Homo-oligomer: A and B are copies of this chain.
Amino acid sequence: MNIKEETKKMKLDAPKLAATTNEQRNAALEAIAVALSNHKDEIFAENEKDMVAAEANNIPQAIIKRLKYGDNKLNDCIKGIHDLMSLEDPLGKVTLNRELDKGLTLKRVSVPIGVIGVIFEARPDALVQISSLCIKSGNCAILKGGKETTNTNKVLFNIIKEAVISAGLPRNSLLQAEAHSEINELLECDEYVDLLIPRGSNSFVRYIMENTKIPVMGHSSGVCHIYVDKTFDLEKAVPVIVDSKIQYAAACNAVETLLFNKGVSDTDVATILDALVDAGVTIRGDKEAATRVNSINNNNYISDEDIMSETEFDTEYNDFKISIKFIDGVDEAINHINYYGSHHTDSILTTDKACSELFMAMVDSASVYTNCSTRFADGFRYGFGAEVGISTGKIHARGPVGLEGLVTYKYKLVGNGDIVDDFASGKREFHHRDL
C-alpha cells in the first residue's frame, strides 16, 4: 500500500464526509454496531490468534489481559457507539453570527479538521472507539494499532470500513496502516494529513513530534504532583495520595512527586508515608527529605540509593515509586510544579481556600485539582463520552480530548456584491451587529 496515494484520496473525500448530516453519520455508527454484533464469532476467532501469539511470545500477563476481546468488551464497544450516537452533532455549530453591515453576514461554524492519523496502543477496543469518534465528528481517519493485536485489528477494521461504506459515507473515510514502516510514510504526508494523534510511550510520542511537519496532538509525559499544604485534612489526604499513586501506577495521570509543606507535622508525614509503603510504594527524595523522614521514629523511609538529586524531579516513574520533597509553601509548590512538571495534572490538598485558589490559578497545567486524586484526569470521567487522548500541549486542545478536539471552524460570509473599497473609502461603515 502506498500511504501517500491513499491519504491523497482521503483528502479528496474529506470535504464529502464533512458535508454529511448527523443522521448520516449516526446511521453509519449504527451500521458499525450491528456489523460488530453480527460478526462477533469471526472477531473472537481472530482475537484468539493474537492471544496464542502473545502467549508464545511471552508477553506479560498484564498486557495479554488488554489484548483479549470477548463478549464483555464487544458489548462495551457497542454501548460506547450508542452513547456517541446520542451526543449532539459536533459539526455545524454556529459560534458567531454577525452582520458586518447591512446585507453582509458572517457566521463561524464548526467543521471537521479533515484527515486525522491516530497511532494507538495494542487494545482492540481503541480501534473501535477511535474510528467511531472520527466518524461522529466527520473526520477521515488513518488508524495504526499496536502489532500485538494485528489479527483482531484487521478483522475489526474491515467490518467497520464495510459498514461505513454500506451506510453511504465516502469510500476513503477510513484507512488502516498495518506495517510499522507505514508510520514513517505517514509522517511525510503533510500535504494530505491535517493532524496526528500519537498515543503510547513518551519516547514514541516525542519521536513523532520531532519527525513530521504535520501538527501533532499528544502528551509527551505525565509528571503529576500532589502538594500537601500546611493545613489539610489527613483522613481525606491519605486515600487521595494512595489512589493517585497506585490505582493505576502506569497511567500518565498517576502522581510522581509529593510536595510537603515544611509545616506538616512528623506524625502526619509518617501516616502518609506508611500508607504508601504499605501499598508497596518505594519512597525517594532529596537529601533534605531523607534526613527529615528517616529521623521520624527511626523509620528508614528513604534508603541511600533512593536519595535523589534535584534534577531527577522531572522523573515519570510509571511504577510503584514516588519522589518527595519538603518546601516552604504554596509559592514554592507552584514554581516547582511549573518547572519540573509536564503540565498534565496537579493537585493541592488543603483546607485553606485562598491557597487552593492561588494554586489553581498559577499552576500551568491542563488539569489543576483541589482535594482529589490526580487519576480523575480522563475523558470518560470528565463526561466527554470518550477520549482520543490527553493533550499536554496548550494549542488547540488541552487535557482529556473528546469530540470537541476533533473539530475546527470556518467563517462563512454571504453578501450581495459587497466590496472592501466602499469601506476603505468611507462610503460604507461596518456596524458589527451580533444577530
Contacts and interface: CB of A to CB of B under 8 A. Distances in A.
Given A106-B382, A247-B421, A398-B408, A416 B364 contact: no
A361 to B, nearest CB: 5
A12 B335 contact: yes
B399 A410 contact: yes
Given A370-B414, A376-B420, A420-B375, A215 B395 contact: yes
Interface string A9-34: 00110111011000000000000000
Interface of A is mostly: mixed
A373 B422 CA distance: 11
B14 A414 contact: no
A341 to B, nearest CB: 12
Interface centre among A338, A358, A382, A424, by most chain B C-beta atoms within 10 angstroms, is A382
Contacts of A366: 410-411
Given A417-B236, A418-B376, A114 B369 contact: no
A90 interface: no
Given A16-B362, A18-B361, A372 B104 contact: yes
B16 A383 contact: no
Interface in A352-369: 356, 358, 360-369
Interface residues of A, number: 79
A411 B381 contact: no
B419 A364 contact: no
A408 B420 contact: no
Interface in A397-417: 398-400, 408-417
Nearest to A113: B394
Contacts of A235: 417
A130 interface: no
Contact of A413 (B370, B415, B416): B370
A376 B195 contact: no
Q: Count identical subunits in the complex.
A: 2
Contacts of A365: 410
A430 interface: yes
B396 A396 contact: yes
Contacts of A287: none
A125 interface: no
Interface in A189-210: 194-195, 209-210
B372 A414 contact: yes
A233 interface: yes
A415 B370 contact: yes
A98 interface: yes
A413 B371 CA distance: 9
Interface stretch (A237-245, A265-273, A288-296): A237-245
A114 B394 contact: yes
Contacts of A383: 98, 100, 106, 430, 432
Nearest to A385: B432
6 contacts: A100-B381, A215-B395, A247-B421, A368-B411, A376-B413, A376-B418
Q: What 4 pairs between A and B have smallest CB-CB spacing?
A: A236-B417, A372-B415, A383-B432, A243-B419
Interface of A: 11-12, 14-16, 18-19, 98, 100, 104, 106, 113-114, 194-195, 209-210, 213, 215, 217, 233, 235-237, 239-240, 242-243, 247, 334-335, 338, 356, 358, 360-373, 375-377, 381-383, 393-396, 398-400, 408-421, 423-424, 430, 432
Given A376-B413, A398-B408, 13 more contacts: A14-B364, A106-B382, A114-B394, A215-B393, A217-B395, A235-B417, A367-B412, A368-B413, A369-B412, A369-B413, A375-B419, A396-B396, A400-B411
